[in-house]
Amino acid sequence: MSTVWDPERYLAFAGERGRPFVDLVALIDTTNPRVVVDLGCGPGNLTALLADRWPGAAITGVDSSADMVRATSGTKAAERIAFRQADLRDWLREAGPGSVDVLVSNATLQWLPEHLDLLPALVAAVAPGGRLAFQVPGNHRAPSHTILADLAAQPPYAEHAAGAARVSSYDAATYLRALQALGCTVDAWETTYLHVLHGADPVFTWVSGTGARPTLQALPGDLRPRFEEEYKARLRAAYPDERHGVVLPFRRIFVVAEVA
């Protein structure tokens, strides 16, 4: 089944989720691009930062989720940015060679198992001298994800959750070498953020809006509450609140490539 994304749940901890985007864009060392595209723009709150950075550019935000694109309607960002619903792979097939000056993708490629094979097409869409910049989570081995996978593999959940989408990514060196082989000049790095979260079951709130959402949606209504309570209990044990908030270490991988 396809995942239905919830913009409101996704925007929980919006400040923490937005930090990697800000850090990524800060390292895109180009001025006055004419065409900027954000692949996987979500509800558009971060895409708006691209319009602030390059006010003279034609900026498009693309997302596969109708709910996310719908959430951009009527926002200030929508006054400056063209938002459209499309699968990233479909957009790539439609994009002309060298049609984009800056191509950004923030926390999106990890949903595509074949995304390393998509790098040539992503590079081809960028004009010579332009930039391809992306960020992907690198925390799929963290307790938040291993607990989810272990629990989902148990009966009675396994038969329902087996086909749910899971995130995957590579280390920075793998992306660097792949893009160098395509003739790009590459800056690649990794950062682990220590997010201090507050509230009831904050790690569950975080992952239920992103990485855990496909698994949760794959479960039938009579099993989901039981699964969620067990998942929350295991997350509380893995990420204890020591009276100063829950610390969620989150590793992220960044790439900024100049296209030859």
Per-residue pLDDT at 9: 62
Tell me the domains of the chain and their CATH numbers: 7-258 (3.40.50.150)
pLDDT, one tens digit for every residue, the chain (260 residues)? 456 555 566 556 778 889 999 999 999 999 999 999 999 999 999 999 999 999 999 999 999 999 999 999 988 889 999 999 999 999 999 999 999 999 999 999 999 999 999 999 999 999 999 999 999 999 999 999 999 999 999 999 999 999 898 889 999 999 999 999 999 999 999 999 999 999 999 999 999 988 899 999 999 999 999 999 999 999 999 999 988 999 999 999 999 999 99
The answer to whether residues 16 and 127 touch, using CB atoms and an 8 Å cutoff, is no
pTM attached to this predicted model: 0.93
Supply 179's token pair: 């893009």
Per-residue pLDDT at 211: 84
Q: How far is CA 107 from CA 63, 68, 99, 134, 237, in A?
A: 12, 14, 22, 8, 27
Report the C-alpha gap between 27 and 34 in whole angstroms. Answer: 18
Per-residue pLDDT at 209: 85
The answer to whether residues 151 and 215 touch, using CB atoms and an 8 Å cutoff, is no
Supply 90's token pair: 């479909």
- HSE on the CB side for 37, CA within 13 Å? 24
Where do we find the tokens 């395509």?
182
